[in-house]
A and B are shown apart, each in its own frame.
Chain A
Amino acid sequence: MFRYSKGTFVREVAMLLVALIMMLPFYILFNTAFKNTEEALSSSALALPTNPTLEGFSASLATTGSRSLIVGALNSLIITVGSVVLLIIIGSLAAFVIIRRPGKISKTLLALFLLAIILPAQLGLIPVYIGLRSLGLVGTHIGMIIMYTGLLMPLSVFLYTGFVRTLPRDYEEAAQIDGASPFATFRKIVFPLLGPATGTVAILTSLIIWNDFFTSLVFLSGSDAVTLPVVVYSFVGELVSKWNVIFAAVILSMIPFLVFYLFAQKKFIQGFAGGIKS
């Protein structure tokens, strides 16, 4: 009964049009990045460049040091990967315990994590800064990793607990009958089974950390560990009217995640939809 009818065709065309319109900002972004500075200002945003040029890109890559896109990307990578790895390990362990040992403690901890997801973190920003400073960690990769791990831990735990609930205990019980220790059981049997949740956590948290702007602005400005969003922001502050360079920088900063997304879009979409539902 749900065949491809005329109505369906109309629906399809309509949605394709909608998608086209939704993509217009992308079109404008890419279009303008390939124009030279003057054309970017004077020509219509929808008109194609008369002489496509990589001027914007080379200008945006020409800066060095703490204003270099490459340095920013590298720092973002280090910090993101470091945080995500910790979030996965620590989060899965905590979630597992909470679900496998139901009771008052479990409920309390769960509430603790759930509440923390909703609480806005700005209130605690300066105390965290002071705390990290007294440990000598401000402006370092490690300091940022600790901070992001702490900030996103509630999300990680929340996602993992949702998934662990659905895991049958049979495998673990079998392993225990065989005499394996709890930790070995977790490492060899449970964690691999948590694959989908790990994927979700990895995608969601890496997206948030990679794109985070305000906290890294406050914590990292001027240091050697500046992340990509901050570098792009300082670009715009400087090159205020060179839209082609600004957009080139925006594209370059977007590419890592966009490529990741295009290759793994199924995982992304499943991760968001599935993870958030749980």
Chain B
Amino acid sequence: MIKSPRTAVRSAIAATAIAAALVLSACSSSSDNASTSAPASGGGSGSAAASGEAVTITLGTQTAQGGEGPYRPVVAEFEKANPNITVNLVETPTDSYAQVLRTQLQAGNAPDVFYGQPGAGNPNAILPSGEAGYATDLSSYSWATGAIPANSETLFTLDGKTYGVPVDLAPVSMIANLTAYKELGIEPATTLDEAYQQCATAKAAGKSLYMIAGAGPPNLGLFASQVAASLVYGADPDWNTKRANKEVTFADSKEWQATLQQVIDYKDKGCFPDGVEGAGFPELTNAITSGSSLGIFAPSGAVVDSKAAAPTQEFGAYVLPAATVADTRSILSTTNGLAVNAGSPNQEAALKLLEFFTEPTSQDLFAKSSGNVSLAATSSTGVPADLAGLGDFLTDESKHVPLPNLFWPNGGVYDALGTGVQGLLTGQATPEVVLEAMDAAWDQTS
């Protein structure tokens, strides 16, 4: 439609010039991030306020599901202890958090302290941010390196640099509606066969033993991880390392095949309600709080949330049983972490906040409101009442494994797992296809 070639050429030149300028600004912004000017959010004075000067910093996290956010009490305590620092707590919905954070880090106005999951296996993971230069290296601070449990070191450090600290220990398990169990006269199963029988019992009563969110791949991935915890990682705790060294693959692994087949078996034996393929988080929450399903799968913080939503019912955390008690493993790891934005102009204040989170009193306070386990707790201080159903699965190290996908190299693998389970539920995919997709996603790391 552009008739005159001359005009076209000129327009092209002008557009290219502007485009070049934009691209150049993109390149330069990513490389000299540390010297960006004050971010739009969280203002703050130019240099760090070690003492005296009033400073406002931002703490960015994803919203808890229906809860009040366990960060608030700790932040309140921090502000009391540091009256010159105000902390702006910004919560973003979980499903858009990763992308919002990435955009903000990219453009230089991310929060001063931000939430992320350890490792590299999630879209909001900390290590990739660290690798790209967006997270401050904490390895020179003993409070930081000291806060990381030995078995989680690879989740927070890369190439000798420490990029984040954990805030709690999160068990991932089945959240059971005990009132509903009692109504059917049963208790949470301890072996797989018992579970299958209970599936039938529940179904006959018009309920379902388990509920998963067919429309939400992350929830499906979590469920599959629970099955894998016993079948794959119980048998071989070093499976992830072997996979990283290319000694094994998902597709060849009999244990992974068994895991996915198990998911299909649950469906075939009526453990899920009809229409589970289309169920979203609302249905998930409704199912557990109304008792129409006896169990859902979530981080144990969901016990607290469920109790808040349905105060007349009883809830507890239990492990998903494998064939025998001896084979069963629960999941417990540092799933929640915080990092300091390397481009933040308020480094000192941000570091102070981070340090505060690693103190034992803060960890206890945090775990209390998140419903997880405090890092400061030891096997002697025992297990929180809500998690009593997990018993020694929590305290005995040989009985739990860390959350598998934290150790995976990118978020695509976990997504392939979750989406794959969707396909298994609808019959669109087979275990072989799903495992191949997971391998393909793994190998795409660069």
CB distance from A132 to the nearest CB of B (A): 8
Of residues A41, A138, A140, A241, which shows the largest number of chain B Cβ atoms within 10 Å of its Cβ?
Answer: A241
CB distance from B59 to the nearest CB of A (A): 10
Tell me if B76 is interfacial: C-beta within 8 Å of chain A: no
Contacts of A234 in B (CB 8 A): 63, 91-93
User: Would you call B103 and A218 a contact (CB within 8 A)?
Assistant: yes
CA distance A136 to B281 in the complex (A): 38
Contacts of B50 in A (CB 8 A): none
A243 to chain B: closest residue by CB:
B282
Interface string of B103-122 (1 = CB under 8 A from A): 11011110100000000000
Tell me if A221 is interfacial: C-beta within 8 Å of chain B: yes
User: Would you call B29 and A107 a contact (CB within 8 A)?
Assistant: no
Tell me if A66 is interfacial: C-beta within 8 Å of chain B: yes
User: Would you call A134 and B29 a contact (CB within 8 A)?
Assistant: yes
User: Would you call B63 and A138 a contact (CB within 8 A)?
Assistant: no
User: Would you call B66 and A241 a contact (CB within 8 A)?
Assistant: yes
For B25, give its contact among A41, A131, A217 (CB under 8 Å): A131
Interface string of B306-331 (1 = CB under 8 A from A): 00010000000000000000000000
The 3 lowest CB-CB distance pairs between A and B, nearest first, are A237-B93, A241-B285, A139-B40
B22 to chain A: closest residue by CB:
A127
Within 8 A of B (CB), among A53-79: 66-67
User: Would you call B4 and A134 a contact (CB within 8 A)?
Assistant: no
Within 8 A of B (CB), among A100-127: 104-105, 107-108, 111-112, 114-115, 126-127
A sample of 24 inter-chain contacts (CB < 8 A) reads A105-B7, A107-B2, A108-B4, A108-B11, A115-B1, A127-B23, A129-B103, A130-B22, A130-B25, A130-B26, A136-B37, A217-B96, A217-B100, A222-B60, A222-B100, A234-B63, A234-B92, A234-B93, A238-B64, A238-B66, A240-B65, A240-B281, A241-B282, A243-B282
Tell me if A133 is interfacial: C-beta within 8 Å of chain B: yes
For B103, give its contact among A126, A136, A237 (CB under 8 Å): A126
For A131, give its contact among B22, B40, B96 (CB under 8 Å): B22
A240 to chain B: closest residue by CB:
B281
Contacts of B281 in A (CB 8 A): 240-241
User: Would you call A222 and B111 a contact (CB within 8 A)?
Assistant: yes
Contacts of A243 in B (CB 8 A): 282
CA distance A79 to B22 in the complex (A): 25
User: Would you call B66 and A240 a contact (CB within 8 A)?
Assistant: yes
Contacts of B111 in A (CB 8 A): 222
- 11 further A-B contacts with Cβ under 8 Å, apart from A131-B25, A222-B41, A243-B282, are A107-B2, A108-B3, A126-B106, A129-B106, A139-B41, A218-B99, A222-B60, A222-B92, A234-B63, A234-B93, A238-B65
Contacts of B100 in A (CB 8 A): 217-218, 221-222
User: Would you call A133 and B282 a contact (CB within 8 A)?
Assistant: no
Known: A112-B11, A127-B26. A241 touches B286 (CB 8 A): yes
Known: A126-B103, A222-B41, A223-B40. A237 touches B109 (CB 8 A): no
Known: A126-B103, A130-B106, A134-B29. A66 touches B2 (CB 8 A): no
How many residues of B sit at the interface, in one of the four size bands? 35 or more
Tell me if A239 is interfacial: C-beta within 8 Å of chain B: yes
Of residues B25, B60, B93, B290, which shows the largest number of chain A Cβ atoms within 10 Å of its Cβ?
Answer: B93
B42 to chain A: closest residue by CB:
A222
Tell me if A233 is interfacial: C-beta within 8 Å of chain B: yes
CA distance A133 to B289 in the complex (A): 44
B36 to chain A: closest residue by CB:
A133
Within 8 A of A (CB), among B12-62: 19, 22-23, 25-26, 29, 37, 40-41, 58, 60
CA distance A66 to B93 in the complex (A): 12
Of residues B26, B58, B104, B286, which shows the largest number of chain A Cβ atoms within 10 Å of its Cβ?
Answer: B104
Known: A129-B107, A221-B100. A238 touches B26 (CB 8 A): no
CA distance A240 to B29 in the complex (A): 38
Contacts of A181 in B (CB 8 A): none
Tell me if B443 is interfacial: C-beta within 8 Å of chain A: no
Contacts of A111 in B (CB 8 A): 1-2
CB distance from B189 to the nearest CB of A (A): 26
CA distance A41 to B130 in the complex (A): 44
Tell me if A42 is interfacial: C-beta within 8 Å of chain B: yes
Contacts of A133 in B (CB 8 A): 29, 40, 107-109
Within 8 A of A (CB), among B77-114: 90-96, 99-100, 103-104, 106-109, 111
CB distance from B334 to the nearest CB of A (A): 24
CB distance from A55 to the nearest CB of B (A): 15
CB distance from B6 to the nearest CB of A (A): 9
Known: A107-B3, A223-B41. A238 touches B22 (CB 8 A): no
Of residues B4, B11, B107, B282, which shows the largest number of chain A Cβ atoms within 10 Å of its Cβ?
Answer: B107
CA distance A221 to B109 in the complex (A): 11
Contacts of B95 in A (CB 8 A): 237
CA distance A241 to B306 in the complex (A): 11
User: Would you call B2 and A237 a contact (CB within 8 A)?
Assistant: no
Known: A130-B26, A223-B40. A108 touches B94 (CB 8 A): no
Contacts of A129 in B (CB 8 A): 103, 106-107
B10 to chain A: closest residue by CB:
A108
